[in-house]
Chains A and B, each alone.
Chain A
């Protein structure tokens, strides 16, 4: 057999591996991708939401949440937050594991597959996971009657884009690591603050001025705003386009950086 490199796109061959491997481990991921967001929705939306709704009705300021119930307000926020968390999880430990602990990537680059194919397939895989989890979450939210517009269908690609805005830079970063010490730091000092201050559970207009500015710079703020605009059907096209451009730019930067860091790590 001479110079048979194969016809199928190499990144799809890596994707096939990730898919087959997921068939072995999918049960363990159900909690983080489906149950956790639902718990949030129940606890915060229905529990805490009861108080919030009563307070807003009493003070005649229901307009603060765009005129909707608290649970309806936070549902798209939880969608975006879940996308961020899934992306963060899939883009850190498994990437370092592939390059170091398990050696999966090292096995792959000894075949016609290249480092860039692994990067591409990893992002495709994260996108797939995000799309499925978001679809399930949106269906549940719709079943509860908290989807107010057919535009909510666009919240699915919005959530995937939000996740990729994290996954692309994070995979590019994780592949350069020699150990996992930076991952918990990343979680504590990036993911958790974003989770709390990006407009998921309350409008950022309630934050002090300087924090509002900081919040607007974070990708999660744009992800939340984008998902919320679609689910509530309150789309102002110029800001929406701004969110999309911002998130897409972040994903693109991560992709470009990873095009250097993946080969840098795997070909030494």
Chain B
């Protein structure tokens, strides 16, 4: 499907305004592994300087898409252009301007923090003098200056992740591709990483992020596409997506185990239309409304006594649930 060009000033909408440079463009992009189709003819375009997200559950085709953009995986069908070049023929030239943060860290555990950065920079043939200056800056950026001579094996998970990101920056890339940047990290480490990524964006670096965390997508991305089963099911800014596919607020009710389905049915008939959409999850019932507190009153008034009840704002999780009928993270 075609992704609606929702952001203002996107090519094709703001005629006359200075055209934003398209750094990645995909049309009918497809990836097949034997009989299995991981990516099913998706279209998207990413402009310079934006933070663009691919949100979806595991197996949605996000990593395959990232690998094709990084010229690590041949395109099976459709067209893909990165920085105006063809990944099929210009791999090294594209990768010279792109920094990749893979899903799994592949740092050299035997070498020190500094050596990892140094050697990676040498792969890009960054001159030694430039490289040494740049490494000092990156160590500070990644808050690893004190651990510069530590063996990578001795670092914590969060430190390794920051080092992998610093490593991706050693060539001063125009695009940074991050595949699940904070999976497996504790909340503090995630917030530190988000802050670093936000700084990069401020510097004008184009960020491509895959994630199955809706909060990460909301925090980081100007624009994102929701992927499911190898297809793009929706696209836009986080706010636009929530406005299009969810209500302003959500009432979450938790009933006794095994009662969610039953109570949801009773709620539907007793609230008759005042909660136009009700979702039943294994452990709770979600009611989609614009005014959560008002609905909560009615729920109590009708005699429902849930084990717990909260009112919250809609998130991308709700968008995903609406679009696919499934939770993002099981």
What residues make up the interface of A, taking CB atoms closer than 8 Å to B?
A: 1-8, 10, 13-14, 16-17, 20-21, 24-25, 102-104, 106-114, 266-268
B304: CB under 8 A from chain A?
A: no
Q: With A24-B110, A24-B111 in contact, do A111 and B123 touch (Cβ < 8 Å)?
A: yes
CA distance A16 to B70 in the complex (A): 24
CA distance A4 to B171 in the complex (A): 9
When distances are taken between beta carbons in the complex, the residues of chain B under 8 Å from A114 are 91-92
B37: CB under 8 A from chain A?
A: no
Known A4-B171, A10-B92, A112-B124; 9 more pairs at CB < 8 Å: A5-B96, A6-B96, A16-B119, A17-B119, A20-B115, A103-B102, A107-B120, A266-B72, A268-B72
CA distance A17 to B115 in the complex (A): 10
When distances are taken between beta carbons in the complex, the residues of chain A under 8 Å from B119 are 16-17, 20
B27: CB under 8 A from chain A?
A: no
B298: CB under 8 A from chain A?
A: no
- Asked whether A13 lies within 8 Å of B108 as measured between CB atoms, the reply is no
CA distance A111 to B126 in the complex (A): 12
Q: With A2-B97, A5-B96, A114-B91 in contact, do A268 and B33 touch (Cβ < 8 Å)?
A: yes
- Asked whether B72 lies within 8 Å of A3 as measured between CB atoms, the reply is no
Q: With A5-B125, A13-B125, A17-B119 in contact, do A102 and B171 touch (Cβ < 8 Å)?
A: no
- Asked whether A21 lies within 8 Å of B111 as measured between CB atoms, the reply is yes
When distances are taken between beta carbons in the complex, the residues of chain A under 8 Å from B171 are 1, 4, 111
- Asked whether B108 lies within 8 Å of A104 as measured between CB atoms, the reply is yes
- Asked whether B97 lies within 8 Å of A110 as measured between CB atoms, the reply is no
Q: With A107-B120, A267-B73, A268-B73 in contact, do A4 and B106 touch (Cβ < 8 Å)?
A: no
Q: With A3-B97, A16-B119, A114-B92 in contact, do A25 and B124 touch (Cβ < 8 Å)?
A: no
Give the top 8 A-B pairs by smallest Cβ distance, nearest first. A6-B125, A103-B106, A111-B123, A112-B92, A110-B100, A107-B106, A112-B96, A5-B96
B28: CB under 8 A from chain A?
A: no
- Mask of B101-131 contacts with A, CB within 8 angstroms, 1/0: 0101111111100010001101111100000
- Between A and B, how many residue pairs show CB distances below 8 Å? 89
B172: CB under 8 A from chain A?
A: yes
- Asked whether A103 lies within 8 Å of B104 as measured between CB atoms, the reply is yes
Can you give 24 contacting A-B residue pairs, CB < 8 Å? A3-B96, A4-B96, A4-B97, A4-B124, A4-B125, A5-B96, A5-B125, A6-B124, A6-B126, A7-B125, A16-B122, A17-B119, A21-B111, A102-B106, A103-B105, A107-B102, A107-B120, A111-B120, A111-B123, A112-B95, A112-B123, A267-B74, A268-B33, A268-B73
B305: CB under 8 A from chain A?
A: no
When distances are taken between beta carbons in the complex, the residues of chain A under 8 Å from B72 are 109-110, 266-268
When distances are taken between beta carbons in the complex, the residues of chain A under 8 Å from B96 are 3-6, 111-112
CA distance A8 to B122 in the complex (A): 10
Residue from B97, B109, B119, B126 having most chain A Cβ neighbours under 10 A: B119
When distances are taken between beta carbons in the complex, the residues of chain A under 8 Å from B111 are 20-21, 24
CA distance A104 to B120 in the complex (A): 10
When distances are taken between beta carbons in the complex, the residues of chain A under 8 Å from B125 are 4-8, 13, 112
CA distance A179 to B96 in the complex (A): 31
B191: CB under 8 A from chain A?
A: no
B239: CB under 8 A from chain A?
A: no
CA distance A15 to B141 in the complex (A): 29
Q: Which of B30-87 contact A (CB under 8 A)?
A: 33, 67, 70, 72-74
- Asked whether B95 lies within 8 Å of A102 as measured between CB atoms, the reply is no
Q: With A111-B171, A267-B72 in contact, do A21 and B110 touch (Cβ < 8 Å)?
A: yes
Residue from B97, B104, B106, B126 having most chain A Cβ neighbours under 10 A: B106
Q: Which residue of B lies closest to A106 (CB)?
A: B106
Q: Which of B107-162 contact A (CB under 8 A)?
A: 107-111, 115, 119-120, 122-126
Q: With A4-B96, A5-B96, A267-B72 in contact, do A108 and B110 touch (Cβ < 8 Å)?
A: no
Closest Cβ of chain B to A128, distance in Å, is 18
